[in-house]
Amino acid sequence: MIEAGQKAPGFTLRDQDGKEVSLSDFRGKTVVLVFYPLDFSPVCTDQLSVYQQTLGELDQRGAALVGISVDSAFTHKAFREHLGLTMPLLADFHPKGEVAKSYGVWDEQWGNAGRALVMVGPDGDVTWSYRAASPLEIPGAELILGALE
């Protein structure tokens, strides 16, 4: 997995509305990349619902949060609407998992991203990262907030 101090690999992915979003769009701001396995799975549903509740606090601290999984933009749109999420969800869909692989969070056994958090600072360098020990572990929002301090 990518570690603090490394340059974050650039990417351009489509969001839930089909719009291209690049890591460089966040230059000058801290962004937390939330890699998660799949939309509509029970653990991912709980995880993103928890993060939705902390978006205001993250914004106050100058940080943005972006979800990334191998699901398509269409699935992301339905998932977002179903949960009332406002964070962008990016489709690491084709080539499948390319961004997850570049960040070292790809799970070859299951063919999706592992559950991981990567904080990228305003200069584009990774400032903090965390990978869940199990796909059933939800990395709590307190981990993100603590890493911002």
Instruction: Read off the pTM.
Output: 0.96
- Residues 30-50 have pLDDT tens digits of 999 999 999 999 999 999 999
Q: Are residues 124 and 30 in contact, defined by beta-carbon separation less than 8 angstroms? A: no
Work out the pLDDT band at 99, boundaries 50, 70, 90. Answer: very high
The residue behind tokens 């990978």 is: 131
> What are the distances in angstroms from CA 107 to CA 114, 118, 146?
6, 16, 26
In angstroms, the CA 77 to CA 133 distance is 28
**107, two tokens:** 């799970």
- Residues 108-138 have pLDDT tens digits of 999 999 999 999 999 999 999 999 998 899 9
The Cβ of residue 134 has, within 10 Å, a number of other Cβ atoms equal to 9
- pLDDT for the residue 135: 86
User: What domains does the chain contain, in order, with CATH numbers?
Assistant: 12-148 (3.40.30.10)
- Is residue 43 flagged as an active site residue? no
Choose, from 44, 48, 70, 117, the residue flagged as catalytic.
44
